[in-house]
Homo-oligomer: A and B are copies of this chain.
Amino acid sequence: MNFEEVVMKRYATKSFDGKMIDETKVNKLLELIRYSASSFNLQPWKVKIVKDRQTKEKLSPLSWNQPQITTCSHLLIFCAETEVKELIDKLEKQMLAAGAEKEKIANYIKMMRDFEAGMTPEQRLIWAQKQAYIALGNAINGAKALGFDSCPMEGFDPKGYARELGLPAHIVPTVVCPIGFANDKPMAKMRFDAKDIIA
């Protein structure tokens, strides 16, 4: 399926049929997510994956009881990773291990450190969350490309999710994406006119 088909066939699935996606395919999707773009390549997000029925049931009331939560195969919870300093350290190590010369990457590393230091904790969270939305885009397109469906969802209680999933404070639930096989039919796509998206 070429990218145009993917974009035109993807839709926010309202309910799934409950069948499980093969783990091989889920792992392929995670690779498409992992290779998403991010600012400075810092990848400031993590995905929490839920596939057991009990946890889905517990998350359902924290998600307005939307049927996608309990009928999906896997629930991907995109979380912002706010410990950005640690990510910079990790990326620097990885670059050096891959053969980069310390002096040659020094400016790049400094730029990242200055950028990180210049943000308030709230700005850091928002910045990380924005990058998570790019990864979300690869997830929903990737799901369709791999032959299943998805539904990006903001309607959930991030604090309740963090509590229920036992996430540490630096991992902040940001946007949820159930994946599975659709049990509904897509409505005709509706968007604003082409001229209306131009500033």
Contact B136 A31 (CB under 8 A): no
Contact with B along A6-50 (1 / 0, CB 8 A): 111010100000000000000110111111110101010111110
- A interface size (C-beta, 8 A): 63
Also in contact, A43 and B137, with CB within 8 A (given A3-B145, A98-B188):
no
CA A141 – CA B32 in complex, angstroms?
Answer: 12
Q: How far is the CB of A47 from chain B (nearest CB, A)?
A: 6
> Cβ of A199: which chain B residues have Cβ within 8 Å of it?
46-48, 77, 79, 165, 167, 171
> Hey, which bits of chain A sit against chain B, CB under 8 A?
1-4, 6-8, 10, 12, 27-28, 30-37, 39, 41, 43, 45-49, 77, 79, 90-91, 94-95, 98, 126, 129-131, 133-134, 136-138, 140-142, 145, 152, 154, 165, 167, 171, 175, 188-192, 194, 196-199
17 extra interchain contacts, Cβ-Cβ under 8 A, other than A41-B190, A130-B130, A134-B134?
A: A3-B32, A3-B141, A7-B35, A30-B197, A35-B191, A37-B137, A37-B140, A43-B197, A46-B199, A48-B198, A98-B190, A130-B133, A131-B133, A136-B137, A137-B137, A138-B141, A167-B199
